[in-house]
Chains A and B, each alone.
Chain A
């Protein structure tokens, strides 16, 4: 609750800039349309209007300013247009409809969650290996870092095509790409967390003559919990981005990525923007859920978040 007012303030500032920007961004389109509709526009030819900036044109045609907010195909949709589109496609449409964003959301969410689970599991296993084996520390970590320098946009179609050729389609190829993005923060966070106990705490276990596995279960693993949650929050949003990216270049028929692409290709920016916002809200919700699990778990453990 402490962050309520700061967050609202930032959102309000962004909205304000956005609402102001709508006017110059859409002015030329609006002027063209207004002329076709028989309204007075100065200057009165599209060519002459090209010499003006959006702002300049708005100053000369202040009576057209309200119309910049209601373009059917705006260059920059106004916030209320996106809100209406979101309401239409999230709440009004049946979720079985191909136009329902809830339906598309689930198509994206399922591989996101599967990929996140795979990535997290893989990340934890790699981190344990890295911490306990010098060989893995030397060999795996550099490759994990290199893997993240490859543009996922280039890699995603290859993975889809290769897996498709092997007869694997549907949710799994997208989940693999999501896992590819989400395992890395988990590896980095878990390695740091598993190594976080100080020399004194390790010495204490030596005085008890404890085994390596006791040291892992009783000291290293619990000590790494706050680090794990910090990584999971990055991992889940990376997972969602991975899934959307997997939907973009492959002609997917459904999912947030497909909606964004459809909006772009058919000149319906409001549709793209609505999908974008739906994806952002989904990501925020996922991070929020992990944050809640984190608070609950750490409170149970008597600790505070890292």
Chain B
């Protein structure tokens, strides 16, 4: 099932820099990926013939209607689902080995903070599990709280925070153990648009500061276009990739970029991809 990456020089450990001309190291590589769920109503073809390469430092969005397999694909990358056939590698390892090596942080749709732990305690959870020293835990909690703009909330309980702040805390929790990859499954899906805009802006700043590779599942076209360097348009039944768009927008993006002709052109291409997928399905 697992296929060793063909170009050894492209493993992330060798070339930490990002080049625009395709020499960036591969972080995620999927080829001919298939996944069929066996359900009581018969088999469901969740992913069909998925091919994708994600470079280090990319911000990749997966967009598509419900049932297109975008979340399933993200869970495959995380090693939470196992593909039926095809090859998938994360940091040059199988997804399961990458999970064991704690290669990624995962942000779920709901913040899912433990109500009996403070914000600091929630961020400490992965650090406790991974066996960090006490001094290092405190230092890391301070650092990631600063990254998500939640200084001073360490001792607060989750119910004392708004939904947007809780989701930021869950992002901090995913950042705390310094994984290179951040997997985000519709993290802002349940938030209102004003909060979402604000968090999108913050996420871009965070991405710029940390140089992480981010895979981001969303329903929203503007969100996908605003955030991504690469937009993967998916369509349902069976779940597959219908278009991959390399964004021509600059990395430094104010919110106002959404009014530019270039942004609208990319958004239109995403919309066309979604429509085409629907037509075939």
Contacts and interface: CB of A to CB of B under 8 A. Distances in A.
A205 to B, nearest CB: 7
A73 B144 CA distance: 76
Interface string B112-125: 10111110000001
B138 interface: no
B261 interface: no
Interface stretch (A22-30, A214-222, A270-278): A214-222
A203 B108 CA distance: 9
B100 A303 contact: no
Given A200-B108, A208-B102, A222 B114 contact: yes
A201 B110 CA distance: 10
Contacts of B129: 205, 208-210, 214, 218
B163 interface: no
Interface string B73-96: 000001110000000000000000
Nearest to B117: A302
A207 interface: yes
Contacts of B106: 203-204, 207
In terms of DSSP, what is the predominant structure of the interface of chain A? helix
A302 B114 CA distance: 10
Contact of B78 (A207, A210, A223): A207
Given A302-B117, A302-B118, A302-B157, A209 B100 contact: yes
A219 B99 CA distance: 19
B99 A200 contact: no
A219 B114 contact: yes
A157 to B, nearest CB: 45
B106 to A, nearest CB: 4
B80 A206 contact: yes
Contact of B125 (A200, A209, A218): A218
A206 B109 CA distance: 16
A208 B100 CA distance: 8
Given A203-B108, A207-B99, A214-B129, A302 B115 contact: yes
A206 B126 CA distance: 11
B104 interface: yes
A225 B116 contact: yes
B159 interface: yes
A47 interface: no
B20 interface: no
A297 to B, nearest CB: 10
B273 interface: no
A216 to B, nearest CB: 12
A208 B108 CA distance: 13
B262 interface: no
Contacts of A218: 125, 128-129
A194 to B, nearest CB: 14
Contact of B108 (A204, A225, A302, A303): A204
Given A209-B100, A218-B129, A204 B157 contact: no
Interface string A211-238: 0001000110011010000000000000
Interface in B116-149: 116-118, 125-126, 128-130
A166 interface: no
A185 B158 CA distance: 30
B105 interface: yes
Interface string A24-58: 00000000000000000000000000000000000
Given A209-B100, A218-B125, A303-B115, 4 more contacts: A201-B112, A204-B106, A210-B129, A222-B114
Interface of B: 78-80, 99-100, 102, 104-106, 108-110, 112, 114-118, 125-126, 128-130, 157-159
29 contacts: A200-B108, A200-B110, A200-B112, A201-B112, A203-B106, A204-B106, A204-B112, A206-B79, A207-B78, A207-B80, A207-B99, A207-B104, A207-B105, A208-B125, A208-B130, A209-B100, A209-B102, A210-B129, A214-B128, A218-B125, A218-B128, A219-B114, A222-B114, A222-B116, A223-B114, A302-B116, A302-B157, A302-B159, A303-B115
What 8 A-B pairs are tightest by C-beta distance, nearest first? A302-B157, A301-B116, A207-B106, A210-B129, A208-B129, A222-B116, A208-B126, A209-B100
